[in-house]
């Protein structure tokens, strides 16, 4: 059983995520959240590189943090089309292998739901960002509607098993605040193409 779960987690799930997270409305979100990024950027939760086509010309390099070897392989074609280097740098968002004040910006898309200690990861991001640098983010999380939130709480244990540790009910603004970030702009809405339990979105920019 453990072997089957490992095969699912390490080999099947990354391919499912590659397909689902590259469809329809997610493309619009990625285009919006990547706008304005510049300089050296660290991306936590690189996945299979779906953000690469939307990174502006001002980005001089991308340092990718992600535990999935399969995701890295699936990203090859996108990396080959990306005009600046993608440097794979570590697998654990809670412990980044970079010096303090290293990066001009950070990017996180559909990632804070999965990291076991999201606050620790955000504090690490803040540590490696230069003063007043920005984190651009798109995350799904806790809905404001009580009925939807109730179902999110109920469904999260199963979701964690099926989706690599993903939580449906994380309070993204509270996590950002606890991680030392100040939200500068944020839109919240339900994704059109997803059930409300899965698709309450937080999209914005936070300052380190």
How many Å apart are CA 108 and CA 137, to the nearest integer? 5
Global pTM? 0.93
How many Å apart are CA 53 and CA 71, to the nearest integer? 16
How many Å apart are CA 16 and CA 109, to the nearest integer? 16
Pairing label, strands 129-140, 103-109: parallel
> Each residue's pLDDT tens digit in the chain (208 positions)?
557 767 767 778 778 777 778 777 999 999 999 999 999 999 999 999 999 999 999 999 999 999 989 989 999 999 999 999 899 998 999 999 999 999 999 999 999 999 999 999 999 999 999 999 999 999 999 999 999 999 999 999 999 998 989 999 999 999 999 999 999 999 999 999 899 999 999 999 999 9
| pLDDT score recorded for residue 1 | 52
| Residue ranges of domains in the chain, CATH in brackets | 2-207 (3.40.50.150)
Write the Ramachandran bin of 101: left for phi over 0, alpha for psi from -120 to 50, otherwise beta.
Answer: left
C-beta neighbour count of 160 within 10 angstroms? 15
C-beta neighbour count of 131 within 10 angstroms? 7
Write the Ramachandran bin of 28: left for phi over 0, alpha for psi from -120 to 50, otherwise beta.
Answer: alpha
Q: Rounding to the nearest 10 degrees, give the CA dihedral for residues 173, 171, 15, 93.
A: 60
CB 77 within 8 Å of CB 21: no
Show Cβ contacts of residue 37 under 8 Å, excluding neighbours closer than 6 positions.
55, 56, 58, 59, 105, 107, 136
Identify the helix (H) or strand (E) that includes residue 118.
helix 118-128
Show Cβ contacts of residue 164 under 8 Å, excluding neighbours closer than 6 positions.
9, 13, 17, 114
Q: Is 23 helix (H, G, I), strand (E, B) or coil?
A: coil
| pLDDT score recorded for residue 8 | 67
């Amino acid at each position: 059983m453990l072997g089957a779960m490992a095969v699912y987690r390490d080999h099947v799930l990354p391919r499912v995520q590659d397909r689902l997270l590259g469809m329809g409305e997610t493309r619009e979100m990625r285009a919006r959240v990547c706008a304005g990024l510049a300089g050296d950027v660290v991306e936590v939760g690189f996945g299979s590189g779906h953000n690469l086509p939307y990174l502006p010309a001002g980005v001089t390099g991308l340092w990718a943090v992600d535990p999935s070897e399969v995701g890295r392989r699936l990203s090859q074609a996108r990396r080959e089309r990306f005009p600046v280097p993608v440097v794979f740098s570590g697998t654990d968002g809670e412990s980044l292998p970079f010096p303090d004040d290293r990066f001009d910006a950070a990017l996180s898309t559909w990632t804070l739901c999965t990291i076991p200690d999201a606050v620790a990861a955000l504090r690490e991001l803040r540590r490696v960002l230069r003063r007043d640098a920005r984190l651009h983010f798109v995350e799904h999380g806790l809905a404001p509607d009580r009925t939807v939130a109730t179902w999110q709480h109920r469904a999260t244990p199963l979701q964690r098993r099926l989706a690599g540790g993903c939580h449906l009910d994380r309070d993204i603004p509270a996590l950002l605040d606890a991680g030392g970030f100040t939200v500068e702009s944020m839109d919240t809405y339900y994704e059109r193409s997803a059930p409300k339990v899965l698709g309450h979105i937080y999209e914005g920019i936070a300052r380190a």
